[in-house]
Amino acid sequence: MARTHIREHGRLIRKKRVRKRVRGTDGRPRLSIYRSSKHLYAQVISDASGKTLVSASTLSNELNETLQKKTATVNAAKEVGTLIARKCKEHGIQQVIFDRNGFLYHGRIRAVADAAREAGLQF
């Protein structure tokens, strides 16, 4: 088995373990983060209604000028965190539950969380 498959399998086990307890409601949705090798995606999801309320990523049109093809960096993650917090405020979402999706709370994942907190999102 290749090394990447082992890592992905471990991440999926951690994801299932965390998702047993983490559920988003309409009043307090879940902020889910996914990190690939090149990009970062953030979604605010209401598990009660099964809908994505807000989303942002390094591929978003709002971030094209600021990132300039450097999407796999901590600075890009900070921009995504700020953007997701701004979009949440526009939709009237003040509090979320943070779901790191099995990834370690380190580097780009931590940068998204810190930037969203600085922009006014509570979790």
Instruction: Establish how many alpha carbons lie within 13 A of residue 96's alpha carbon, considering only the half-sphere containing its beta carbon.
Output: 29
Q: In what order do the strands lie in the sheet with 51-57?
A: 51-57, 40-46, 30-35, 97-99
In the structure encoding, which two tokens stand for residue 39, read together? 């990009």
SS3 112: helix
User: Which 8-state DSSP code applies to residue 72?
Assistant: S
| Residue 63 one-letter amino acid | L
- CATH no. for 3-118: 3.30.420.100
pLDDT by residue, tens only, the chain of 123 residues: 577 788 899 999 999 998 888 888 888 999 999 999 999 999 999 999 999 999 999 999 999 888 888 999 999 999 999 999 999 999 999 999 999 999 999 999 999 999 999 999 999
Q: Which residues contact 113 (CB under 8 A, 6 or more apart)?
A: 33, 81, 98, 105, 123
Q: Model-level pTM?
A: 0.89
**Angle CA 83–70–80, to nearest 5:** 15
Angstrom distances, CA of residue 70 to CA of 60, 77, 104: 13, 10, 22
